[in-house]
Amino acid sequence: MLTSDCLGINEEGHLTIGGVDTLYLAEKYGTPLYVMSEDKIREIAKSYLGSIKKNYNGNGVPIYASKAFCCKEICRIIDSEGLDMDSVSAGEIYTAIKAGVDPKKLHFHGNNKTYGELEYAIENGVGDIIADNFEDIIRVNEIGEKLSKVVDITLRIKPGIDVHTHEFIRTGQIDSKFGFALENGEAEKAAQMASQLKNINLNGVHCHIGSQIFDAEPFVFASEVMLGFIKLIKDKFGIEIKNLNLGGGFGIKYLESDPFLKYEVYMESVSKAIHNKCAEYGLNIPKIFIEPGRSVIGEAGITLYTVGNVKEIENVRNYISVDGGMGDNPRYALYQAEYTCVIANRMNDKADYKATIAGKYCESGDLIQENVSIVKPEAGEILAVLSTGAYNYSMASNYNRNVRPACVMIKEGQDRLIIRRETFEDLIKNDI
20 or 244, CB closer to ligand LLP?
244
Shortest separation between residue 167's beta carbon and ligand LLP, angstroms? 12
Measuring CA to CA, which residue among 156, 161, 165 is closest to residue 186? Answer: 156
Shortest separation between residue 270's beta carbon and ligand LLP, angstroms? 14
* Sole binder of ligand LLP in the list 248, 301, 359, 377 (CB under 6 A): 248
**Does the CA dihedral 359-249-113-120 come out positive or negative?**
positive
**Active site annotation includes 407:** no
Report whether 107 contacts 133 (CB < 8 A): no
* Residues sharing a CB contact under 8 Å with residue 366, sequence separation 6 or more, in sequence order: 325, 326, 333, 358, 359, 360
Shortest separation between residue 333's beta carbon and ligand LLP, angstroms? 11
170 binds ligand LLP (CB under 6 A): no
Cα 292 versus chain centre, distance = 6
Which residues in the 292-351 window bind ligand LLP by CB under 6 A? 292-295, 331
226-234, 235-243, 247-255, 316-324 -> range binding ligand LLP (CB under 6 A): 247-255
* Residues sharing a CB contact under 8 Å with residue 104, sequence separation 6 or more, in sequence order: 125, 126, 127
Omega prior to 292 cis, within 30 of 0: no
227 or 297, CB closer to ligand LLP?
297
23 or 78, CB closer to ligand LLP?
78
391 binds ligand LLP (CB under 6 A): yes
Residue 156 is given by DSSP the state E
116: amino acid identity, one letter = G
Round to whole Å and give the CA distance between 51 and 32.
36
109 or 346, CB closer to ligand LLP?
109
x/- letters, 198..217, toward ligand LLP (CB under 6 A): ----------x--x------
285 or 334, CB closer to ligand LLP?
334
Residue tagged active-site, from 207, 341, 362, 407: 362
Measuring CA to CA, which residue among 368, 306, 387, 390 is closest to residue 343? Answer: 306
208 or 253, CB closer to ligand LLP?
208
Which residues in the 256-295 window bind ligand LLP by CB under 6 A? 291-295
Plot region of 324 (φ>0 → left; ψ -120 to 50 → alpha; else → beta): beta
How many Cβ atoms sit within 10 Å of the Cβ of residue 65? 29
* Sole binder of ligand LLP in the list 49, 138, 169, 232 (CB under 6 A): 169
Which residues in the 2-61 window bind ligand LLP by CB under 6 A? none
* Sole binder of ligand LLP in the list 39, 79, 84, 86 (CB under 6 A): 86
Dmax (CA) of the chain: 72
Shortest separation between residue 248's beta carbon and ligand LLP, angstroms? 3
Shortest separation between residue 391's beta carbon and ligand LLP, angstroms? 3
Report whether 267 contacts 321 (CB < 8 A): no
End-to-end alpha carbon distance in the chain? 48
Q: Which H helix or E strand runs over 224?
A: helix 217-237
Residue 286 is given by DSSP the state P
159 or 293, CB closer to ligand LLP?
293
Shortest separation between residue 113's beta carbon and ligand LLP, angstroms? 13
For ligand LLP, the binding residues (CB under 6 A) are 65, 68, 86, 109, 169, 171, 208, 211, 247-250, 291-295, 331, 391
| Residues noted as catalytic | 362
